[in-house]
Structure 1
Amino acid sequence: MPASNAIPDSPDPAEALPPLPDDRFFNRELSWLEFNQRVLDHAADSQQPLLERGKFLAITSSNLDEFFMVRVGGLKLQSIQNSGIRDPSGLSVNEQLAAISDRCHGMQREQYRILSEDLFPAWEEHGIHRVDLSAARPRHQESANSVFQDLSATLSPHALDPSRPLPLLQGLQLHLCVRLAALDGDDSPWQYAFIPLGRTMPRIISLPSDRGYHFTMLEDLISHYVEDLFPGREVLETVAFRITRNADIRLREEDSPDLMVGMEEVLESRKESAAVRLELAAHASEHVKAFLTETFEIRSEDLFITNGPVDLTCLFQLIGIEGFDDLKDEPWRGQRSPNIDPAEPMFDTIAKGDILLVHPYERFDPVVRLVEEAAVDPDVLAIKQVLYRTSRDSPIVAALMRAAERGKYVTAIVELKARFDEARNMEWAREMEHAGVQVIYGIKGLKTHAKICIIVRSEPHGIVRYVHFGTGNYNEVTMRLYSDVSLLTCNEELGSDATTFFNAVTGASYPLKYHKIAAAPTSLRSRIRELITSEIDRKKEGQKAAITVKVNSLVDPAIIDALYRASQAGVKIRLNVRGICCLRPGVKGLSDNITVISILDRYLEHARIMHFEHGGDDQVLISSADWMPRNLDRRIELLVPVESPPLRKRLIRVLQTYFKDNTNSWKLTAKGEWKRSRSKSGSQVQAQRVLYERAVHAVSEADRNRRTAFETHAPPE
């Protein structure tokens, strides 16, 4: 499906209307940072359980890691190539980099203030103690010494020699910089060594305790015994640091005939790319600071001094400690779907009617089970599936290989260009090929991001296609943490569309016209524009017209402009945008009718759901695509209608629930500020809790109905 075959946009509904103001867009990068600030605000929220606050702090750190690797890395390359280019908000590349640096330094200061002033003292009160080894009790000293002796066998200090190349340091890996007194006869006043602290080493080192939990940090442990690693040398200073390398290195597919080899080269290039950030512990001397900034060519705006442990993703490990359930969220267990009988084959269940699963409130198990049953079902002829991100021990990949080994025709599109999952996907691709799966390594020039699985089955009345469409990846682990939607169907037209779509992708051909679905980069953008335009037309005709949309990011200028025009026409628009939102709501004469909210809670909001009122004939759709240029123009995505009235009604109710949240909801203002919605009186509504309780109630109702139903014994046939 070459990008050059893209269908042109439908006519702009705004043609012949007055021009829109130049300042109608927020900057994409700064908008993303405000999303991360909302996560950080949860870490600062005293109403959150204490260990959950640490989790949100770790998430902000992890988010910033990827932001610097990709977004800042990309801007720095852009600054070298064309610094004069401006984004839709009007900011130049260098202006964006300066604003990002200011915002990120402020965010980091707040991170460490929360940790040092709030969380560490509060954890201490509840029995979670960080031990200072220099003043530790003998019992802790003995345990720490024992752990160090075990770790020292794996540590490899690298003495730095000006006459030899600098050892290659991995990005995002914690290191210690050791400043040593010079040896006799050496002209230099000091020398340096690096100690890489491998990712397999635990950052949190447990220490013995009769009550509570005692721990020390890995870097503190190694620093305490560091002289043992340099016998006969005087250690002047030991400082933890970490560099972040530019990961915005893309494959030039036109120059790489072998995609697998090309991606391996990209991964290798990332290991040696320029550093875009240096994080350094606050106690570092000016000597160490100057040495590291010069060594890694770090400018002052890219240096981040940490007033606490470098790399706060280490807090993920602390959150998992046992025995402190009162400091964590109460567990919500994913429910089974009341519409799926575990004793009945999935094919029989789907044949009775479309099934909608709202994850993680309803388990992802039925999707896994469908593929596993297909792998061993003698009537299944073929399985076709797109894999973008999978789990490390994916049962779906195992089922696809099992199906191929049984002689079924299995095709998997494995996206090797899925950022930061490239290595895992290459490994899966090779394993599946060895098992007999026909593997396609994505499409040249595009990322295959659609979530689709097609199972072709021979039945007495002919060939039936069972299809799964989703908004999230085929990853049963993240499906317990992400809010997503699955549609299981054997609708003939959707099945035909699914096959047409898949064959167009695998055959790199132009697809025939679809009956119901739309796909990027050919028709998805124009379909969204048509849906928005239709609401404008219906509003003008006095019919019911409204738009409610849930996406992760809203960036695309053309789609935003179409929404502005709809607002100007009087169409009420409600947008639930988890992360980046470049649309400016609530501007008089431009976006008076647009409301933008964002939900941040225990689950990552990931589903893309759309509702167009359409004069009372509700149009409800799910999609793998966010409203961003990359998704609409440079990725293979799907937009799928949900036509079953009960399922449409359920998704509309899901969308409405988010707008009732007055606990974990944020509202975007025309100035770009996010204001938290907090109930000052009356009952509190927490959207994710409501969705979870509905799932629990649905199962209870189904069980109760089964118990009260009368079943007669029919005579034998």
Structure 2
Amino acid sequence: MTQTHPRFFNRELSWLEFNQRVLDEARDDQIPLLERLKFIAITGSNLDEFFMVRVGGLRVLVNRGITTNDPSGMTPLAQLDSISVRAHQMMADQYECFLKELEPQLTAAGLRRVPGQELSERQAKAVEQVFDGEIFSVLTPMAIATCAEFPLLGNQTLSVCVQLAPSSDAPGKPRFAVIPLGKVLPRFLTLSAERGTAYVLLEDVVGRFVERFFPGEVVTGHAAFRITRNADFSLRDDLAPDLLAGMEDILLARKHGECVRLEVAACAGPELVAFLKESLAVEDRDVFFAPGPIDLSTLMQLTDLKGFEQHRYEPWPAQASPQVEPGASMFETLARRDLLLLHPYQSFEPVMRLIEEAAVDPDVLAIKQILYRTSRNSPIVTALARAAQRGKSVTAIVELKARFDEARNIEWARNLEEAGVQVVYGVKGLKTHAKTCIIVRREPQGIQRYVHFGTGNYNEITSRIYSDASLLTSNEELGADAVMFFNAITGYSQPQRYRKLEAAPIGLRTRLLELIEGETKRKLAGQKAAIDVKLNALVDPELIESLYSASQAGVPIRLNIRGVCCLVPGVPGLSENIRVVSVIDRFLEHARVLRFHHGGDNLVFISSADWMQRNIDRRIELLIPVEDVPCKTRLVAALETYFDDNVKARLLNPSGQYTLLKPQGRKKRRRSQELLYEDACQQVKQAEQSRRTTFEPHMAPGANS
């Protein structure tokens, strides 16, 4: 019997399979122990956001009575049912990994969790002192007479539900109280131990002394729990007269969102669980019983403990770019050549240095920059403020709608405005997701524009753990396009036809379809054709259909999709020429890179956009050509390295399952991230060797003018 395959994978189930691939890293005993713990913490954090946004959004559709099928043929309700089954299995796998694999090895390595009832006499006395001196004074129990009086608990904050014996007035009715644990107290309390480090969880300490919160009462049960609220709220900014105030309203609305997931300790009694379900209006499918610590994402705190260096990855410090002289001006460097940086293998420092130099350079007239996500103490934001204070024209597009970074971006926007920066809060109805910075400088030959384009955010912290690409250039056409693009966002002007760039939501879809269809036509004409694409997500049905058509024409297509992939590869007559792999390793793959054979010309691009309807149609994104030959050659080599990975790459099968690739026969072991880092190190060594064998005289000032 011929096996049938869907035309599209469901987006939500595909995302859960991505999280499974992260969990597989936690189960890999070839990875250092604390790195495995980090991976399992990431799976917890990922699931939190998935429930807040994706499940929350589906719940809204179901509540509105919407029954429209998605491209995979599933209704919102069917998706929720399937998600519940898959997510429950994933949670079981998470705790099996933590409790049966990681925790015993952590204990053997000297990092032990001590349950509240297993404290030694010495440890119990120390914990009791902490409870009496700090915990008891900070926490506040809240009695709940009826479900309608259930308190407004913070999203994803841990609490303890306490069941009390019935009162004499209502002998058959149990009573309940809730103790919110808040975010002030540490989740992990360090204990004295004969060897290594021991810790006890805050909820276990509260459970050990819970009776002290209720003197004169009989506690019949207690259990830790945590709720996840719907955070999928969007602002109709076309109707919001004040975007800043509107985003603050969104942040407030999230505090009141309905509960979409209830996590409760597996030890919870049936009456306690029934009380929580009724109070939070959740169904059985929304309840997740945790046999271990609730909120696995907090385990990330343990991965930074000192004294366990042998259980971490060998450090891979970011390498300097050999094209950037340590003492030379970035303007001088970019005047000579384009610069391609592959992060985190190469340092993000040249990008920051360019902006910081621009802030104090007397010849710089203007800086224009898009800020989507930044670090908490961003040196780039500080540089923009300094530039404005020095009288330069500084304009920052601060995207207030960057999900879960709204509060930080609101704070940055206000600080920048106070420093004299012109702040634009994005575009009505769209998110500004493009990453670019433009510096306008007066030079002897006239006005010169220096531009940075990136696939990642202006965040020096995440640049150390996200795999991204940066292109820095003084190319005249790219500079002119960048200014035109920026001014189209900040003004009322209609987007113009660019010479080099392409942008969403106006022309990006058309350009991508043209590039794919160009390869299709060449193949049908008997010419060589090929498509290589590296993205974080591939969801858009129209682009997927175009790839299917190219495959049917015989175009070999290689896709490296880190996360969600709705395209079904390897189906005869549909996608047999499409190969999809996903690389999950120590760094988060984040770069979007495209290559089209184009008759041998190799059109190569970097982009801020994944191939999703939201990115192509509802965001401001950029597609940037990389035409400088050394930069293009290096980027193509990096793509090949990813597609050659046979250690951390997983192949997507037509069934929707992923298979870990392994070296076959005599083929060498090739781990893409390791090879890219080794290449960055080798470039530095070669540059140092070249400098040692080349005499470079000091020139008198003005000798080259």
Question: What TM-score range do you get, normalising by the shorter chain?
Answer: over 0.9
Tell me the distance in 1 between the aligned counterparts of 2:67 and 2:632: 47
2:224 alignment partner, SS class = strand
1:116 deviation in Å? 1.2
CA gap 1:458/1:244 in 2 versus in 1, 3 angstroms? same
Q: Name 1:705's counterpart in structure 2.
A: 690
2:97 pairs, out of 105, 109, 114, with 114
Q: Quick check: 1:436 aligned with 2:423?
A: no
Q: Name 2:472's counterpart in structure 1.
A: 488
1:448 pairs, out of 426, 432, 435, with 432
CA gap 1:129/1:439 in 2 versus in 1, 3 angstroms? same
1:214 pairs, out of 168, 184, 198, with 198
Q: After superposition, what is the alpha-carbon deviation per residue over 1:311-368, rounded to whole angstroms, capped at 9, x for unaligned? A: 1012101111111122111111111111111201111111111000000000111111
1:678 deviation in Å? 2.0
Q: Name 1:92's counterpart in structure 2.
A: 75
Between stretches 141-150 and 665-674, larger displacement belongs to: 141-150
Tell me the distance in 2 between the aligned counterparts of 1:193 and 1:271: 21
1:623 pairs, out of 598, 607, 616, with 607
How many residues are matched?
697
1:561 deviation in Å? 0.7
1:60 pairs, out of 18, 43, 46, with 43
2:234 alignment partner, SS class = coil
Please give the residue correspondences for 1:332-347 in structure 2 after superposition, counting only pairs within 5 Å: 332-347=316-331
Q: Name 1:26's counterpart in structure 2.
A: 9
Q: Name 1:595's counterpart in structure 2.
A: 579
Tell me the distance in 1 between the aligned counterparts of 2:148 and 2:629: 70
Unaligned runs of 5+ in 2: none
Q: Quick check: 1:695 aligned with 2:680?
A: yes
2:238 alignment partner, SS class = helix
Q: Name 2:483's counterpart in structure 1.
A: 499
Q: Quick check: 1:40 aligned with 2:23?
A: yes
Percent identical residues = 55
1:715 deviation in Å? 8.5
User: Which residue identity is paired with 1:358?
Assistant: L
1:537 deviation in Å? 2.0
TM-score, length basis structure 2: 0.97
Tell me the distance in 1 between the aligned counterparts of 2:700 and 2:130: 72
Kept in 2, the 8 Å contact 1:410–1:437? The answer is: yes
Q: Quick check: 1:238 aligned with 2:222?
A: yes
Kept in 1, the 8 Å contact 2:147–2:275? The answer is: no
User: Which residue identity is paired with 1:700?
Assistant: K
Tell me the distance in 2 between the aligned counterparts of 1:197 and 1:166: 16
1:587 deviation in Å? 0.9
Kept in 2, the 8 Å contact 1:443–1:508? The answer is: no
1:264 pairs, out of 229, 233, 248, with 248
Q: Name 1:546's counterpart in structure 2.
A: 530
Q: Name 2:300's counterpart in structure 1.
A: 316
1:62 alignment partner, SS class = helix
Tell me the distance in 2 between the aligned counterparts of 1:137 and 1:468: 58
User: Which residue identity is paired with 1:92?
Assistant: T
Q: Quick check: 1:646 aligned with 2:622?
A: no
1:161 deviation in Å? 3.2
Q: After superposition, what is the alpha-carbon deviation per residue over 1:413-454, rounded to whole angstroms, capped at 9, x for unaligned? A: 111111101111011111111111111111110000000000
Tell me the distance in 2 between the aligned counterparts of 1:574 and 1:254: 40
Q: Name 1:247's counterpart in structure 2.
A: 231
1:696 deviation in Å? 0.8
CA gap 1:649/1:51 in 2 versus in 1, 3 angstroms? same
2:310 alignment partner, SS class = helix
Between stretches 326-335 and 66-75, larger displacement belongs to: 326-335
Tell me the distance in 2 between the aligned counterparts of 1:184 and 1:670: 63
2:428 alignment partner, SS class = coil
CA gap 1:163/1:686 in 2 versus in 1, 3 angstroms? closer
2:160 alignment partner, SS class = strand
Tell me the distance in 2 between the aligned counterparts of 1:22 and 1:57: 31
1:714 deviation in Å? 6.7
Please give the residue correspondences for 1:9-408 in structure 2 after superposition, counting only pairs within 5 Å: 23-148=6-131, 149-162=133-146, 165-187=149-171, 189-408=173-392
Q: Relative contact order, CA 8 A, sep 6+: which one is greater? A: 1
User: Which residue identity is paired with 2:142?
Assistant: H
Tell me the distance in 1 between the aligned counterparts of 2:20 and 2:68: 27
Q: Name 1:7's counterpart in structure 2.
A: none
Tell me the distance in 1 between the aligned counterparts of 2:134 and 2:172: 34
CA gap 1:209/1:533 in 2 versus in 1, 3 angstroms? same
1:253 alignment partner, SS class = coil
Q: Name 1:12's counterpart in structure 2.
A: none
Tell me the distance in 2 between the aligned counterparts of 1:583 and 1:37: 18
TM-score, length basis structure 1: 0.95
1:685 pairs, out of 657, 670, 689, with 670
Q: Name 2:565's counterpart in structure 1.
A: 581
1:713 deviation in Å? 6.6
Between stretches 421-430 and 49-58, larger displacement belongs to: 49-58
Kept in 1, the 8 Å contact 2:148–2:279? The answer is: no
1:675 alignment partner, SS class = strand
Tell me the distance in 2 between the aligned counterparts of 1:714 and 1:265: 60
2:438 alignment partner, SS class = strand
Tell me the distance in 1 between the aligned counterparts of 2:545 and 2:250: 36
Superposed structure 1 runs of 4+ greater than 6 Å apart: 713-717
Tell me the distance in 1 between the aligned counterparts of 2:531 and 2:295: 41
Please give the residue correspondences for 1:471-482 in structure 2 after superposition, counting only pairs within 5 Å: 471-482=455-466
Tell me the distance in 1 between the aligned counterparts of 2:123 and 2:694: 63
Kept in 2, the 8 Å contact 1:204–1:314? The answer is: no
Q: Quick check: 1:524 aligned with 2:508?
A: yes
Q: Name 1:564's counterpart in structure 2.
A: 548
Between stretches 389-398 and 46-55, larger displacement belongs to: 46-55
Q: Name 1:13's counterpart in structure 2.
A: none
Q: Name 1:6's counterpart in structure 2.
A: none
Tell me the distance in 2 between the aligned counterparts of 1:469 and 1:715: 34
CA gap 1:161/1:549 in 2 versus in 1, 3 angstroms? same
1:513 deviation in Å? 1.0
1:79 deviation in Å? 1.1
User: Which residue identity is paired with 2:578?
Assistant: I
User: Which residue identity is paired with 2:61?
Assistant: Q
1:163 deviation in Å? 9.4
Tell me the distance in 1 between the aligned counterparts of 2:252 and 2:162: 27
Q: Name 1:607's counterpart in structure 2.
A: 591
Q: After superposition, what is the alpha-carbon deviation per residue over 1:537-569, rounded to whole angstroms, capped at 9, x for unaligned? A: 222333331110000000001101111111111
User: Which residue identity is paired with 1:107?
Assistant: M
Q: After superposition, what is the alpha-carbon deviation per residue over 1:470-527, rounded to whole angstroms, capped at 9, x for unaligned? A: 0001111111110000000010000000000000010132111100000000011111
Kept in 1, the 8 Å contact 2:13–2:83? The answer is: yes
1:310 deviation in Å? 0.8
Kept in 1, the 8 Å contact 2:115–2:201? The answer is: no
Tell me the distance in 2 between the aligned counterparts of 1:326 and 1:378: 49
Kept in 2, the 8 Å contact 1:621–1:639? The answer is: yes
Unaligned runs of 5+ in 1: 1-20
Between stretches 660-669 and 226-235, larger displacement belongs to: 226-235
Q: After superposition, what is the alpha-carbon deviation per residue over 1:20-51, rounded to whole angstroms, capped at 9, x for unaligned? A: x9931111111111101111111111222122
Kept in 1, the 8 Å contact 2:436–2:452? The answer is: yes
Kept in 1, the 8 Å contact 2:144–2:150? The answer is: yes
